[in-house]
């Protein structure tokens, strides 16, 4: 029903944000990975959305990238995983790490997420492996794999925040060149550095 939301970021908390568009403030629940790449309050932001409708409420969930949203939607298909737990899993692991965990069957990594017990972790690993195939990559809306390198993910995050594609690529390239050690492979660190450029 809702694809994305673009507007002014008027409130920013680790669990949710409020984006004002057309005079209406939309409360959107976000994973930590999305929270970290959003601009400061008062600036424009764009989120990809997923709407969850219950008989007593409607909830919007927002994501900086397609792979976050697709991972969230796939997690919702696992028995016993609701939207809040799916958000916690994405906040704790991120889509790239989740794909690795599924591919390697790393149950221990899943159980580190609050609310995920051993049985739920096993079910997630098995069902996502079935859904994503042996490669453990996140299929996109058209069936193509969305898991990409950290620099490409950082570029897409900047584009979701309103930067032009060429500007986003230029900033991420500069951030990656100045990154030390493992920071060049950390999407959130690349995005933060690129935003400072």
Same domain, 45 and 83: no
Per-residue pLDDT in tens (0 to 9) along the chain, 197 residues: 789 999 999 999 988 999 999 999 999 999 988 998 999 999 999 999 999 998 899 999 999 998 899 999 989 989 889 999 999 999 888 888 888 888 888 899 999 988 899 999 999 988 888 776 644 455 444 433 434 567 777 777 777 777 777 787 788 888 888 877 666 677 788 888 888 87
Q: What is the CATH number of the domain that holds 105?
A: 1.10.150.20
Residue 145 is assigned to a structural domain of this protein: no
What are the residues facing 63 on neighbouring strands?
A: 48
Same domain, 51 and 72: no
Residue 141 is assigned to a structural domain of this protein: no
Same domain, 103 and 115: yes
Same domain, 56 and 75: no
Same domain, 161 and 127: no
Q: What is the CATH number of the domain that holds 22?
A: 2.40.50.140
Q: What is the pLDDT of residue 181?
A: 65
Domain residues for 19? 4-63
Same domain, 39 and 82: no
Residue 173 is assigned to a structural domain of this protein: yes
Contact 150, 186 (CB under 8 A): yes
Q: How many domains does the structure of the chain reveal?
A: 3
Same domain, 37 and 20: yes
Residue 38 is assigned to a structural domain of this protein: yes
Q: What is the pLDDT of residue 125?
A: 87
Contacts of 197 (CB under 8 A, 6+ apart): 171, 174, 175
């Amino acid at each position: 029903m809702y694809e994305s939301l673009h507007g002014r970021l008027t409130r920013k908390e680790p669990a949710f944000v409020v984006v004002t568009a057309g005079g209406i403030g939309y409360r959107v629940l976000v994973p930590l990975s999305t929270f970290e790449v959003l601009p400061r309050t008062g600036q424009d932001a764009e989120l990809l959305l997923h709407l969850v409708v219950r008989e007593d409420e409607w909830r919007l969930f927002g994501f900086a990238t397609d792979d976050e949203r697709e991972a969230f939607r796939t997690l919702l298909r696992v028995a016993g995983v609701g939207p809040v737990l799916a958000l916690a899993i994405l906040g704790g692991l991120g889509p790239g790490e989740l794909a690795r965990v599924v591919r390697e069957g790393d149950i221990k990594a899943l159980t580190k997420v609050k609310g995920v017990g051993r049985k739920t972790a096993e079910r997630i690993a098995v069902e996502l492996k079935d859904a994503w195939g042996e490669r453990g990559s996140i299929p996109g809306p058209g069936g193509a794999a969305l898991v990409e390198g950290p620099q490409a993910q950082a570029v897409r995050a900047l584009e979701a925040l309103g930067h032009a594609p060429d500007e986003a690529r230029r900033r991420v390239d500069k951030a990656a060149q100045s990154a030390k050690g493992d920071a060049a492979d950390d999407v959130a660190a690349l995005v933060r550095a690129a935003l400072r450029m």
